[in-house]
A = this chain, B = another copy of it.
Amino acid sequence: MNFVIIGGDAAGMSAASRAKRSMPDMKVTVLEKTEDVSYSACGMPYNIADENRELDDLVVRKAEVFREKQGINLLTGHLVESIDTNGRSVVGKIQGSGETFQYAYDKLLIATGGRPKIPELPGFDLPGVLALKSLEDGRKIKAYIQVHPVKKVVIIGMGYIGMEMAEALRERQIAVEMVKPGPDLLPWMARDLAGVVEKELKDNDVQLHPGCEVSRIEKSGDKLEVLCKDRSLDADLVLVAVGIKPNSELAVDAGIDTSVGKAIAVNKTMQTSDPSVYAAGDCADAFHVVTGERVWIPLALRANRAGWAVADNVCGKKTKLQGIAGTAVFKVFNLQVARTGLSLEEARRFGFTAEAVSIKSSSRAHNHPGARPVWVQLVGEKKTGRMLGAQMVGSESAAHRINAAVVALHSHMTVADFIQTDLAYAPPFGPVWDPLLTAANQLQKRMQ
Q: Tell me the A residues contacting B by CB distance below 8 Å.
A: 10, 40, 42-43, 46, 50, 57-58, 289, 299-302, 304-305, 321-331, 336, 338, 340, 365, 367-369, 397, 399-404, 406-408, 410-411, 413, 417-418, 420-430, 432-434
Contacts and interface: CB of A to CB of B under 8 A. Distances in A.
29 contacts: A40-B365, A42-B365, A43-B368, A46-B368, A46-B427, A46-B428, A50-B369, A58-B367, A289-B422, A300-B425, A302-B422, A304-B432, A321-B420, A327-B425, A329-B424, A329-B425, A329-B426, A331-B429, A336-B429, A399-B426, A399-B429, A400-B403, A401-B403, A404-B406, A406-B423, A407-B423, A410-B413, A410-B420, A410-B421
A339 to B, nearest CB: 9
Contacts of A426: 42, 328-331, 399
Given A300-B425, A418-B407, A367 B399 contact: no
A304 B340 contact: no
Contacts of A300: 425, 432
A421 B406 contact: yes
Contact of A424 (B327, B411, B433): B327
Nearest to A160: B426
Closest 9 CB pairs of A and B: A400-B400, A411-B411, A403-B404, A329-B424, A399-B429, A407-B407, A325-B422, A327-B422, A43-B427
Nearest to A403: B404
A421 B407 contact: yes
A183 to B, nearest CB: 26
A43 B326 CA distance: 36
A367 B404 contact: no
B40 A425 contact: no
A403 B432 contact: no
Nearest to A299: B425
Nearest to A42: B427
A262 B331 CA distance: 48
Contacts of A330: 426
Given A58-B367, A365-B42, A406-B404, A322 B420 contact: yes
Contacts of A403: 400-401, 403-404, 421, 423-424, 434
A400 B404 CA distance: 9
A40 B401 contact: no
Contacts of A402: 424
Contacts of A336: 429
Contacts of A40: 365, 367, 427, 432
A64 B368 CA distance: 23
Nearest to A404: B403
